[in-house]
Amino acid sequence: MPYRAPLNDYRFIFENVVGFSRVAETERFAEATPELVEQILTEAARLSEEVIAPLNWPGDRNPAKLENGVVRTSPGFGDGYKAIAEGGWVGMAANPDHGGMGLPMAVTTAVNEMLSSACLSLQLCPLLSQGQIEALEHHASDELKALYLPKLTSGEWSGTMNLTEPQAGSDVGALRTKAEPQEDGSYRITGQKIYITWGDADFLPNVVHLVLARLPDAPAGTKGISLFLVPKYLPNEAGEPGEQNDLRVVSLEEKMGIHASPTCVMEFDGATGWLVGGPNKGMAAMFTMMNNARLGVGAQGIGVGERAYQHAVAYAMDRVQGKASGSGAIVEHADVRRMLTQMKADLFAARSIALMNAVAIDMAAATGEAGWKARAALLTPITKVFGTETGVQVAHEGVQIHGGMGFVEETGAAQFSRDARITPIYEGTNGIQAMDLVARKMMDGGEAAFSLIDEIQSQAEEARASHEALAQKVWEATEALRETTEWLAEQEMQDRFAGAVPYLYAFARVLGGAAHLRAAQKGDAARGAFAAFYIDRLLPEHRALLAQARAGAKGLYSISLDDLTAA
């Protein structure tokens, strides 16, 4: 099944839903003219469709393997990676001083979505480099920047992130890897890290690890964590890979999906590294990297979902069964139609939220305004959760539309479902994202949320003239969200946490409603029909979600552990 990049959707959302023109009007992104954006998106679409998409299924069937310490990658992945790097896509958002394109995050997000549709396993490699580039730009010394950023930006070398240890997953503060200062200003890093995505690859001349570790006598917990740059090969005087560092891939995990992405257990055995950011300032650097990575993971969910959708709709138009009208294909059955329409309507909502988030990041970067920063921070966990859950749900329905063929690996539908499954887990589980939303992102008393809610309601007011019924439904749902937000902001943390996930989903449903309403106003009849579907059939879910959000923790803790384990 060929993949077709949803370019019309990007164009429409950029222009009509998220107001990308504001970004292009800033000095910082003045070069991102409509012509350039069009050219960038078209080129990324071509690469994704023609070069990367064909690698996806063979990659699942031929996972990355560890052979005598070397990570042997899936067929064609070396060439695919090279095409991504040579197109400049690794450094598309990076600083032009080091060879980057300096593109807005909105454009980067669309490109990342397309590459994820094409091949999630491969796309992870440049995505991690993007995060590392950003962390180094913000926190590394000029010397490290000069040595590493050009190689990372060009994609010649790739970057990884080494956080997790067996006892320290979501609880990063529990990590134990040690860093001992050396006389020459470097550090010796010793410890084991797990879940290191693209920890190594046979097509990469060098891999640069960012490793969280503890200095001697560092305070306990997250306050005693520092970040180190640890390359596989130490650069020689010419800046090329020289002596091998004391680190190695011990094993690869066998996973449910993304088989072609090597997930490494890394052993650092007194490896040489350099401090990035100040001593004990590792968490700040890590958050820089993770914040945009969360948007990237949201885009991954949407990307896998988009491809699963295209796979399913093609099957539904081809498969003749039963007494459907018209062509006789199952796409004529009302229930199949319902599933497909929901899949596409949800993808549009998730994509709009992700791009709204990206525009806020761009505006914050371009203007430095606190309001945009707060908007971006508020939207990030929502994008991550709703993008990834939409990906999982759409891929699930994609399997269902295939019937028995969906459960058979040969069809490819199952792969999308297995691949998408990682996205609600990594880069902070979706539960942790929701806790972030109701805790850190409400330390302003809900100000950022209320500002967005006000904006949606103004938009709904404006839409009444042409779409009264839809506008009213969006207005009311937004008002219900406001009331629950006011209530939440006054609760103890435990009560917020008990309803955090349903609250986040309700917020996403409302944002999706706003995006669809805008599409109905600005788009053709088909956009209006999808908007009506979403607002009439899916938006009503917000009520039950908000009821859950307000139910509090007391009822949960009235059930004891013995009650939970009674059989």
Distance of closest approach, residue 152 Cβ to its own copies, in angstroms: 25
Nearer to its own copies, 241 or 398 (CB): 398
CA angle centred on 55, ends 49 and 57, rounded to 5°: 110
**Residue 447 structure tokens:** 């100000």
The Cα 109–Cα 116 span in angstroms is 10
Longest dimension (CA), the chain: 79
Q: Which of 306, 410, 427, 492 is catalytic?
A: 427
Distance of closest approach, residue 426 Cβ to its own copies, in angstroms: 7
Nearer to its own copies, 317 or 489 (CB): 317
Distance of CA 119 to the CA centre of its chain: 14
Distance of closest approach, residue 247 Cβ to its own copies, in angstroms: 21
Q: Which residues contact 341 (CB under 8 A, 6 or more apart)?
A: 530, 533
Nearer to its own copies, 217 or 254 (CB): 254
Nearer to its own copies, 375 or 421 (CB): 421
Query: CA-CA-CA-CA torsion for 339, 344, 349, 353, nearest 10 degrees?
Result: 130
Distance of closest approach, residue 102 Cβ to its own copies, in angstroms: 28
Supply the DSSP symbol for 320: B
Supply the DSSP symbol for 280: T
The Cα 19–Cα 15 span in angstroms is 6
Catalytic residue flag (residue 397) = no
**Residue 246 structure tokens:** 């004391």
CA angle centred on 112, ends 196 and 105, rounded to 5°: 105
Count of CB atoms within 10 A of residue 408's CB?
12
Distance of closest approach, residue 513 Cβ to its own copies, in angstroms: 13
Nearer to its own copies, 50 or 409 (CB): 409
Distance of closest approach, residue 346 Cβ to its own copies, in angstroms: 14
Distance of closest approach, residue 84 Cβ to its own copies, in angstroms: 21
Nearer to its own copies, 25 or 536 (CB): 536
**Residue 51 structure tokens:** 């070069």
Distance of closest approach, residue 173 Cβ to its own copies, in angstroms: 8
3-state secondary structure of 307: helix
**Residue 550 structure tokens:** 């307000």
DSSP characters for 472-536? Answer: HHHHHHHHHHHHHHHHHHTS-HHHHHHTHHHHHHHHHHHHHHHHHHHHHHHS-HHHHHHHHHIII
Nearer to its own copies, 36 or 317 (CB): 317
User: Over the Cα atoms of the chain, what is R_g?
Assistant: 24
The Cα 108–Cα 127 span in angstroms is 10
Is the distance from CB of 228 to CB of 210 less than 8 angstroms?
Answer: yes
**Residue matched to tokens 């050396």:** 182
Nearer to its own copies, 370 or 469 (CB): 469
What is the set of active-site residues? 427
